[in-house]
Amino acid sequence: MKKSELVLVAGAGGFIGGHLVADLLRQGHTDLRAVDLKPFDEWYQRFPEVENLQLDLQDKDNCYKALKGARVVYNLAADMGGMGFIENNKCLCMLSVLINTHLCMAAKDEGVKRYFYASSACVYNADKQRDPNVTALKEADAYPGQPEDGYGWEKLFSERMCRHFREDFALQTRVARYHNVYGPHGTFEGGREKAPAAICRKVIHAKLSGDHTIEIWGDGYQTRSFMYITDCLKGTQTLTWSDFVEPINIGSSELVSINQLVDIVEGIGGIKLKRSYNLKAPKGVNGRNSDNTLIQKVFGWEPDTKLRDGLEKTYRWIYDQMSGRYAKPRTVSFAELH
């Protein structure tokens, strides 16, 4: 595409969306429209040279307004968060189906060239994720359908919506199944954060507060893979402009347990903590990993940032956000006051 053509990033006030806008700017794109539901002061990254709009994309008219003149759409908009949010807000997660449905309708009518939809590894059949020593999930494992309740069903349904808009209306949709994206400039507190950011926050809190304890959700043996944000951006844009039309995993294949994740972050922070395990807290499936056979075959590449390397950058950013809260008041002298 020409870098002067209008690109819409839906969900631009969020973690991945903000990084995508920044990356498109670095590449020299000159006509970018960033849309999010959140007030501007709550966006993780916002750029003055971009057309920034605050719109609720569950509303059909707003989707048409957002897509007016757009040639490329990256749909990253969804009401979502970490496992605690997903398990306790199933209806809110399901309502995100309105965003993708109305954006697809507007994209068809506006003659959009490429439409990217951010799906999730939560679409995969739960029966294949009961063992921490999980066999990595390949794309075919989404069927027969038994995804994560709420959020996973919405993602799987929206994947099908994209497929049928492509088959029936020739809208060039592309679908990626993200596996646990993390990095700086994202949620690390408040209930919507995911495991890497949550563990970084807890370790930093322990280090700065002097309370050398940490609570872990579940028994710590549940396993996951985590993908650094730069790999996510590369995979997203490579897929969007490829001829590959089926849903594809974009995720790291470096499997770790939550206990091992804590080990890594403790090592980065230079501290060892006493662990307690909250077995009643949401913990999701027992094991999930990305089978990258297909993405290697199609693109000759897979997300390859080592977990420790990405966590070091994430930890440093979160530390900078939190450290000011623990600064001790400085004694002010009489001379300074007068």
- Residues serving a catalytic function are 151
Kindly give the pairing relationship between strand 223-225 and strand 255-257: antiparallel
- Got the DSSP string for 75-113? E---S--SHHHHHH-HHHHHTTHHHHHHHHHHHHHHT-S
Rounded CA separation 192/80 (Å): 7
Q: What are the helix and strand counts (H, E) for the chain?
A: 12, 13
Contact criterion met (CB below 8 Å) for 19 and 229: yes
The residue type of 222 is: Q
Q: CA-to-CA distance for 312 and 305, rounded, in angstroms? A: 12
Q: Which of 128, 125, 134, 176 is nearest to 303 (CA)?
A: 176
